[in-house]
Amino acid sequence: METITTTPVVITPEALLEHWQGHRRLTRRTIEAFPADKLFTYSVGGMRPFSALAGEMISMAGPSMYGFVTGRWDPVDERGHLLTEAPKPDTQAGLLEQWDETTDIINTLWPRIRPDRFQENDKLFNMWESAIYSGIFYLIDNEIHHRGQGYVYLRSLGIEPPPFWERD
């Protein structure tokens, strides 16, 4: 009898998309939890306001998804910043609109990531050698990291952040 060795499935592509979008729904609620002015002005310890942290997530997600699918990467400068970034909204509604556009971009492009692509290496943004799965995890982890910082901003404003474990 033939023996077939299979690699265990830790998480399927579909489940990883859902995992990420669950996090993104929570981040969206975090954006909404800020008073409109504080979103763009308030921070702790000289850090960036939450609008800038959320803006970073947006600016990374779309171009990364494009690169994961196509292997083509938008140009960045020597500090890793995109040369052709989307305009930065200056209202809460504008930021949420851009957030939702990115949600659609991710959902549209995700099924176009070739199944064997997750384990491939690429040079992300022509700068960082990485497996594709690792690049995806970096996006999610960076979002969790900065959202956690937004929770501290909210707490120090006396505002209860959305529950961490709710992802619906």
Using the minimum distance from each CB to its own copies, give the nearer residue, 58 or 154: 154
Considering the rule CB under 8 A, would residue 134 count as an interface residue with its own copies?
yes
Considering the rule CB under 8 A, would residue 127 count as an interface residue with its own copies?
no
Considering the rule CB under 8 A, would residue 116 count as an interface residue with its own copies?
yes
- Inter-residue contact 23 to 136 (CB < 8 Å): no
| Smallest gap from residue 164 Cβ to its own copies (A) | 6
The CA distance from 102 to 107, in Å, is 9
The CA distance from 9 to 22, in Å, is 20
| b/e map 132-149, b = 16+ CB within 10 Å | bbebbeebbeebeebbeb
Considering the rule CB under 8 A, would residue 155 count as an interface residue with its own copies?
yes
Structure tokens at 2: 């033939």
The CA distance from 110 to 49, in Å, is 29
Considering the rule CB under 8 A, would residue 1 count as an interface residue with its own copies?
no
Considering the rule CB under 8 A, would residue 10 count as an interface residue with its own copies?
yes
| Smallest gap from residue 114 Cβ to its own copies (A) | 8
Among 41, 70, 91, 119, binds its own copies (CB under 8 A): 119
- Cα dist from 20 to 34, 44, 72, 142, whole Å: 22, 27, 22, 12
Using the minimum distance from each CB to its own copies, give the nearer residue, 1 or 93: 1
| Smallest gap from residue 84 Cβ to its own copies (A) | 23
- Inter-residue contact 81 to 92 (CB < 8 Å): no
| Site residues for its own copies per CB under 8 A | 6-13, 15-16, 19, 23, 44-47, 115-116, 118-119, 131, 133-134, 137-138, 141-142, 144-149, 151-158, 164-165
